[in-house]
């Protein structure tokens, strides 16, 4: 833990020169400052304690006060904890911008997606735009489902807002787009194909039920999962919105297409529906319906473009024709040899 409360103020372990006492901003229990020659300083609980209490924490109180002062500086006439009887909710902060009332929430403790959707529905009912700022407990190793849960829209892009209690200001994170199995986005196309293919081979050594099920589906269709067509590989960073990731979604799409008759012609929207039927979308309760749909269509559109580039789909007057069946490799070794020698742009 990097932050602690000292005399009602947040202090950082890295540059703390006080003797204490220190308290946990989450649960309020005593902390001790741990310092050493070889490890970065940190705070630890004096006794075992659970920090995910459902009651309001000191960190939450501090953040709300900071947000209030920040909104005052913007000239937004903020009000703290105003009860809204129509929906039986008490948001952390209401701010007035011209003729509109906005809701700001500071979320430190865990909040499940159904409860979040319920609260947002109340604000939408009152026609109050809202913004959820996440606290430090959400800042590290945020999983895809939580990123999707708190995804919001800002300046035409998806974003997850945080409130930084140390800097006393909002932080907007746009950096959650990823490529499956690829950490270094500067890798060439050839290198990404290799990393992803080798990762697929390794996945069978782990007890990941999702990948085991996908491997079984490929096997029943007469294929080896790691020998999938190159068009199954996602190479562009995408915002998390699929329950089991883009790679498995693409594999499901290709397996479904094998059951379709060749020369099938459908309008573009028809192909969008076919591919969307293979998707298990993560709920995004903080996004308006049209914004979530825009993100999903962006993902599907990118895949359709790649299917056209490899001649699986072709443009005709009536839409897109299913021109050829996706070609799988015989095994992972053949695929890797091809990737190492094939010309890529």
pLDDT at 125 over 50: yes
- Distance from C-alpha of 328 to C-alpha of 255, rounded to nearest angstrom: 11
Q: How confident is the model at residue 177 (pLDDT cuts 50, 70, 90)?
A: very high
What confidence score (pLDDT) does residue 2 get? 72
Between 40-44, 247-251, 333-337, the lowest mean confidence (pLDDT) is in 40-44
Determine the distance from the C-alpha atom of residue 172 to the mean position of all C-alpha atoms in its chain, rounded to a whole number.
Answer: 13
Determine the distance from the C-alpha atom of residue 212 to the mean position of all C-alpha atoms in its chain, rounded to a whole number.
Answer: 23
Q: Taking residues 233-246, what's their average pLDDT?
A: 96
Question: For residues 325 and 138, which has the higher predicted lDDT (pLDDT)?
Answer: 325
- Proportion of the chain in helix, strand, coil states, percent, rounded to 5: 35, 20, 40
Beta bridge partners of 32: 44
- Distance from C-alpha of 233 to C-alpha of 200, rounded to nearest angstrom: 11
Question: For residues 165 and 324, which has the higher predicted lDDT (pLDDT)?
Answer: 324
The architecture (CATH level 2) of 58-173 comes to 3-Layer(aba) Sandwich (3.40)
pLDDT at 28 over 80: no
Domain positions in the chain are 3-45, 58-173, 189-341
pLDDT at 281 over 70: yes
Place of tokens 């849960």: 149
Q: Taking residues 316-345, what's their average pLDDT?
A: 94
Question: For residues 119 and 3, which has the higher predicted lDDT (pLDDT)?
Answer: 119
Q: Taking residues 73-91, what's their average pLDDT?
A: 92
Strands 9-12 and 22-23: unpaired
Structure-block tokens of residue 22:
């220190």
Write the pLDDT tens digit of every residue in 252-270.
999 999 999 999 999 999 9
């Amino acid at each position: 833990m990097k932050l602690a409360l000292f005399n009602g103020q947040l202090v950082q372990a890295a540059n703390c020169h006080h003797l204490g006492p220190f308290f946990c901003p989450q649960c309020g229990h005593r902390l001790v400052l741990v310092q050493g020659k070889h490890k970065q300083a940190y705070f630890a609980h004096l006794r075992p304690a659970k920090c995910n209490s459902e009651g309001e924490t000191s960190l939450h109180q501090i953040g709300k006060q900071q947000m209030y002062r920040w909104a005052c500086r913007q000239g937004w006439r903020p009000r703290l904890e105003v009860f809204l009887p129509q929906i039986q909710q008490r948001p952390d902060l209401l701010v007035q911008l011209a003729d509109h009332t906005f809701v700001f929430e500071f979320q430190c403790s865990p909040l499940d997606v159904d409860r979040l959707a319920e609260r947002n529905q109340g604000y939408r009912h009152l026609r109050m735009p809202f913004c959820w700022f996440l606290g430090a407990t959400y800042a590290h190793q945020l999983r895809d489902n939580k990123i999707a849960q708190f995804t919001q829209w800002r300046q035409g892009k998806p974003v997850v807002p945080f409130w930084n209690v140390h800097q006393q200001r909002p932080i907007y994170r746009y950096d959650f787009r990823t490529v499956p199995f690829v950490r270094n986005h500067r890798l060439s196309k050839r290198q990404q194909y290799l990393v992803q293919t080798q990762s697929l081979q390794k996945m069978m050594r782990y007890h990941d039920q999702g990948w085991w099920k996908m491997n079984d589906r490929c096997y029943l269709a007469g294929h080896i999962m790691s020998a999938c067509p190159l068009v199954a590989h996602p190479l562009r960073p995408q915002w998390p919105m699929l329950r089991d990731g883009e790679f498995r979604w693409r594999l499901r799409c290709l397996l479904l297409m094998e059951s379709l008759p060749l020369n099938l012609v459908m309008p573009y929207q028809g192909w969008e529906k076919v591919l969307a039927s293979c998707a298990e979308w993560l709920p995004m309760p903080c996004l308006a319906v049209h914004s979530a749909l825009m993100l999903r269509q962006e993902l599907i559109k990118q895949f359709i473009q790649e299917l056209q580039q490899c001649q699986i789909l072709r443009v005709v007057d009536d839409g897109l024709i299913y021109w050829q069946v996706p070609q799988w490799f015989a095994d992972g070794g053949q695929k890797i040899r091809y990737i190492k020698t094939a010309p890529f742009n």
